[in-house]
Structure 1
Amino acid sequence: METGPPRLDFKLSCHDDETVGDELEQILTDTEAPYFKRIRSASWVELKLLLHLAAPAVIDYLLNNVVSMSTQIFCGHLGNLELAAVSLGNNGIQVFAYGLMLGMGSAVETLCGQAYGANRHEMLGIYLQRSAVLLMATGIPLMMIYIFSKPILILLGEPVNIASAAAVFVFGLIPQIFAYAANFPIQKFLQAQSIIAPSAYISLGALVVHVLLTWLAVFKWNWGLLGAGLVLSLSWWIIVVAQFVYILMSKKCRNTWKGFSVEAFSGLWSFFKLSAASAVMLCLETWYFQILVLIAGLLENAEVALDSLSVCMTINVWVFMISVGFNAAASVRVSNELGAGHPKSASFSVLVVTSCSFIISVIAAIIVLIFRDSISYIFTGGEVVAKAASDLSPFLAVTIILNGVQPVLSGVAVGCGWQAFVAYVNVGCYYLIGVPLGVLLGFTFDLGAKGIWSGMLGGTVLQTLILLWVTWRTDWNKEVEVAKNRLSSWDDRRQPLLQN
């Protein structure tokens, strides 16, 4: 019998995670065994751990993404204008709220994970409520952006007809803002306890309901873009309510959810500072390629450019969700092994998870190139858009490959506590190099969407190389000591989990 909760709640076939972690470290430090035998045995142990971590997370993120993507597909079959409007609404306005809310909600992942590991189970529910309060408050100014999305998009130079149509769709997404505010804290609350599979089942059920309601709203009831937006908002609220009902009913959460408490309104300023810091790195990541869509709206023949980029970006995001699952796995594996004092296991885990994600991304890129001429017909029947999307497919393939490495390295950074460093790297590579270079190539050299994308790829390549170099040069023994010092500094009397 275990005396306390394990760090991971998955039912591993052989041992609990701590035993497996010890086994992995023993294998890697056994210098008497042949080198290749050690690598083979260690790889098998690590791959089993990754499977139980990454697979449910990938499924959950994919299903959540398909909910939004299906709306884009349905609206795309209404016409090119509707597809451009939904693309601009999703990638230009909605993703701003998504990135901010997800970034702020990610603070719950850190705090709840620390509290769960420290056996302070009752604090998980408090952190969940504090985050939800802050995110709901943040949703109010975000709602103003949604309400005035049309003049904002026009001010940014988007065509009036596309901005007008996008504003109608975005208006239907206002309830989704507050669904995000509730969903992300709940999601991280569950992930901290390694409860991932129920969220995946809930997302699958919500997807089925969403597809049916969107089909009725768009094609049978003729509610248009506003109806599509409202259905998308409703679907996210279904996910939120179902997850919260699970928390109330599940025995797994009875020690971490003790009901609503007035403590949720205390310590909000410290919690806000930590949430804001957590949001910076993720927002810089999330918004980067969405800026590509906004800039493309300034090109001549913006409708075709937006439609073709919409097709490519939707496919890219879909594949990116796989990398996000590996990102979560990398963060958990590295932080767990560093906390357990296993430097070789932490280093080996980085190698295995990055290799797995890279191989999958290469396969996805090859599939994109094979079906480059027909892939856009999933979203729209226009031949002009199909040709434009086909021309952009090599850029999409390179992006997919880079996204097979870069998000995983970001997960490693989170596991090591390098968020501030990565934020500086992102600012420099993305916004001081990538975006200006993309604008220069796209407009000054008249390369259009290809030029914009090329410049922004340059920023991603540079950022990935920097993270690879830093990870390669990492002294994992030193990182173990840093982790031990961080843990030893915890003091219950000062609520250290809220300290910056």
Structure 2
Amino acid sequence: MCNPKPSSPSSFLCSPTTRFSIPNKATDLYTDDQEELKRWPTLSEASEEIKAIGRISGPTAMTGLILYSRAMISMLFLGYLGELELAGGSLSIGFANITGYSVISGLAMGMEPICGQAYGAKQMKLLGLTLQRTVLLLLSASVPISFMWLNMKRILLCITLPLTYCSAISVLLHVPLNFILVVHFKLGIAGVAIAMIWTNFNLFLLLISFMYFSGVYKDSWVSPSMDCLRGWSSLLGLAIPTCVSVCLEWWWYEFMIMLCGLLLNPRATIASMGILIQTTSLVYVFPSALSLGVSTRVGNELGANRPARARISMLVSLACAVALGLLALLFTTLMRHQWGKFFTNDAEILELTSIALPIVGLCELGNCPQTTGCGALRGSARPTIGANINLGSFYLVGMPVAILAGFVLKMGFPGLWLGLLAAQASCAMLMFYVLCRTDWLVQVERARELTQTSVTDTPPSPLPLVGNLEEILCINDELVQSRSLETDPLISSTTQTLH
């Protein structure tokens, strides 16, 4: 149960004197009374919020399913090539996730809180400016990743709806590409990799074409200028913790693949792990879409000075996440004997997969709420808390349990998944605790400070009274960052008081 008396995120590890005082003039600027922050949403409010989140999460989930089918097709063709190729392909995909996709995905999520709160505050031009900065950031990160991938053999020897349409078209081309390269030209694993690269390129071209010809970018577009090279600290301050949070979770799965190599018959265990990771990727599509929806909704409501609405978005999304977790458990339990047959006919791989699938379903009971909770934290510009929760849960809880169960207790392959279950359970509980102890008045003040949509009493370190968030982020990045009220309840023991 959520605490009916909100408190700041730092309060449950800080001294009892910790408090946050709102200036008297600011009270007229809030559209919600404090009493609104102490009640549960009504059925009609929950229904309206589900519709609002669904308008964002629905097309996102469809896009995710379509893009997932691309990886599914690749795994099917790898299974067609044989057990060794399926295991080798799983390792290759895992390595790409560790060194590339997790980093790019995490950095890209850094723009969510800025864009969400800017949209709520009607700072439309900031959307285009943030997009330009993020593209430059991702290109900068892609250069060393590409160089590493191109030289990997040498290194290893040394040691929404339009998006859905574009994704569908690119994936439709993915099937014939795989068939031509793998079956016709006999390129094997290299053919699967080439097909994935070409499909990514097709998706990029289709998205760029849609944006250009539809004119959807016009309201938020700003011409490239030196502003793209300034104001990076605010973006990096959100992108880097988000990237760390994503990487910590993604890397755990690849760590499990490496542990599989130490078990008996590593070919079968690694191949089965690849199938199970594809299964979790399929299930992850839905909480990931829900996470994006709640991140956008929370950011919009905080930017518009509506803390009670942001809290309702968080509560409704967590309830939906629990329902998704139960559906995932039902799916993996009912399909445990049939699911592996989509990928391979090897009896040993099928047996390992059927044993572990119910444990995977239990993991999703924790994964769905914690993924959604991460979205709420991103929407309120608190990614550092999510990163610390993932670090503690996956590597201080999950990893020891996996090693203990898998190797010390001789449980083998299922023991590794019990480690993930322990990690997801602890992660979900910590995330739930942090969100229920959140003071949404603190968060709306932080958002209001960031977007500067109204004038407050003069603080100790005043911000320039301008209405343009682009100028604030460019000129006073360090000042805004230093005055951020974000604190990590897992490690901080300092008190903060804003007058």
Structure 2 length normalisation: TM-score? 0.79
RMSD: 2.9
**Corresponding residue of 2:292:** 328
The aligned residue for residue 169 of structure 1 is none
| 1:429 aligned residue | 393
Aligned mate of 2:370, from 385, 402, 406: 406
Deviation at residue 385 of structure 1 after TM alignment: 0.7
Q: Go from structure 1 to structure 2 and tell me whether the alpha carbon gap of 1:270 and 1:45 turns closer, same or farther (over 3 Å shift).
A: closer
Q: Could you state the TM-score of these two structures normalised by the residue count of structure 1?
A: 0.79
Name 1:101's counterpart in structure 2.
Answer: 104
CA deviation vs aligned residue, 1:27-55 (integer Å, no higher than 9, x gap): x9599xxx99x722212211211221210
Pairwise CA distance, 1:484: 3.0
- More divergent stretch after superposition (202-211 vs 295-304): 295-304
Partner of 2:255: 291
Q: 1:153 to 1:314 in 2, by over 3 A?
A: farther
Partner of 1:495: 471
The one of 318, 328, 337 equivalent to 1:373 is 337
| Residue 221 to residue 435, structure 1, CA distance change in 2 (3 Å) | same
CA displacement, residues 110-140 of structure 1 (integer Å, 9 cap, x when unaligned): 3444454555544444433333233223223
Superposed CA offset, 1:452-483 (max 9, x none): 22123212211111111122222333433343
1:204 to 151, 155, 168: 168
SS in 2 for 1:257: coil
Within 5 Å, which residues of 2 pair with 1:210-359? 210-258=174-222, 260-261=224-225, 263-266=227-230, 272=236, 274-359=238-323
* Structure 2 counterpart of 1:452: 416
Q: Answer yes or no: is the 8 Å Cα contact 2:115–2:126 preserved in 1.
A: yes
Residues 43/448 of structure 1: CA separation in 2 closer, same or farther (3 Å cut): same
Contact conserved, 2:110 with 2:239, CA < 8 A, in 1? Answer: yes
Deviation, 1:95, is 4.1
Give the drift of 1:355. Answer: 1.4
Instruction: Tell me which of 80, 83, 98 is aligned to 2:83.
Output: 80
Matched, 1:391 2:355: yes
CA distance in 2, matches of 1:259, 1:197: 26
Give the residue type in structure 2 aligned to 1:76.
G
Q: Does 1:481 align with 2:445?
A: yes
Does the Cα contact within 8 Å between 2:77 and 2:182 map onto a contact in 1? yes
Q: Which runs of 5+ in 2 are unaligned?
A: 1-30, 453-462, 482-499
Deviations for 1:78-136, whole angstroms, at most 9, x for unmatched residues? Answer: 11111111111112333431110111122233344445455554444443333323322
In 1, Cα distance between equivalents of 2:285 and 2:299: 21
Q: Aligned equivalents of 1:269 and 1:340: distance in 2? A: 24
| Aligned positions of 1:102-121 closer than 5 A | 102-121=105-124
Structure-2 separation of matches of 1:384 and 1:392:
13
1:317 CA displacement:
0.8
Q: Does the Cα contact within 8 Å between 1:75 and 1:218 map onto a contact in 2?
A: no
Q: Counterparts of 1:138-149 in structure 2 under 5 Å?
A: 138-149=141-152
Per the alignment, residue 15 of structure 1 pairs with none
What residue number does 2:3 align with? none
Ranges in structure 1 where 5+ consecutive residues have no aligned partner: 1-23, 157-195
Higher fraction of helix:
1
Counterpart CA distance in 2 for 1:390 and 1:73 is 18
State the AA in 2 paired with 1:427: L
Corresponding position of 1:161: none
Distance 1:260 1:484 in 2: 27
2:135 corresponds to which residue? 132
Q: How big is the shift at 1:265?
A: 4.5
Contact 2:234 2:473 in 1 (8 A): no
Higher relative contact order (CA 8 A, sep 6+): 2
Deviations 1:381-434 (A, max 9, x none): 212111110111121111222222110111111122221122122212212221
Cα gap change, 1:148 to 1:437, in 2 (>3 Å): farther
Question: 2:71 matched to which residue of 1?
Answer: 68
Q: Which AA in structure 1 matches 2:431? A: L
Question: How many correspondences in the alignment?
Answer: 433
1:323 partner SS? helix
